[in-house]
């Protein structure tokens, strides 16, 4: 059985409680299809009191042999960090920061982000959000954000449209 992604639960809780949320970098990278690493516990920064929510993702499935439980750890957010919370480009910025911390290839991450978002109906909103708020990202991220915004606005998929195998795989395979 296919379970709803963590992002669906996070977004639903944010709507229900009227929260501005900012997911951690690994969760953002997983949501963008950049890594197959699935965090055992997602840290969500929000303008709420600290709490942990456990959600049984396969509740009501008569064929489930084992429980699938998502742990969402909500932490208080500072005003400076809250800038990207709830914005269209939030996952892009968080994923790039996580990849830099992991010391992996940022160019591969950029290509993976463009490949994933090129199929997203909100790609133009993400590109515009990145362009409008480029001053809010760290200096090292400027060229990466400009590249992503330009490719998304142009409808470019990073030259990957000709290779059907790469467009079929939802995860970026060139990231180590």
pTM (2 decimals)? 0.75
Among 9, 1, 162, which Cα is nearest to 74's? 9
Q: Tens-of-pLDDT digits for all 176 residues of the chain? A: 567 788 888 889 999 999 889 988 998 998 898 988 877 788 899 988 899 999 888 877 788 788 888 899 999 987 777 899 989 999 999 999 999 887 778 989 999 999 999 999 999 999 999 999 999 999 999 999 999 999 999 884 444 443 333 334 445 555 54
Break the chain into its structural domains and give their ranges. 6-168
* DSSP for residue 176: -
């Amino acid at each position: 059985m296919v379970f709803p992604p963590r992002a669906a639960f996070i977004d639903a809780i944010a709507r229900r409680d009227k929260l501005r949320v900012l997911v951690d970098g690994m969760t953002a990278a997983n949501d963008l299809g950049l890594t197959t690493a699935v965090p055992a516990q997602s840290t969500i920064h929000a303008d709420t009191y600290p709490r942990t929510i456990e959600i049984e993702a396969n509740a009501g499935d008569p064929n489930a042999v084992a429980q699938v439980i998502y742990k969402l750890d909500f932490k208080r957010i500072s005003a400076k960090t809250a800038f990207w919370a709830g914005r269209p480009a939030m996952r892009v910025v968080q994923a790039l920061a996580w990849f830099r911390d992991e010391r992996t290839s940022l160019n591969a991450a950029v290509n993976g982000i463009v490949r994933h978002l090129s199929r997203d109906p909100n790609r133009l909103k993400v590109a515009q959000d990145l362009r409008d708020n480029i001053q809010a990202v760290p200096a090292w991220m400027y060229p990466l954000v400009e590249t992503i915004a330009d490719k998304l606005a142009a409808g470019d998929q990073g030259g990957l449209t000709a290779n059907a195998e790469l467009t079929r795989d939802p995860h970026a395979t060139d990231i180590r």
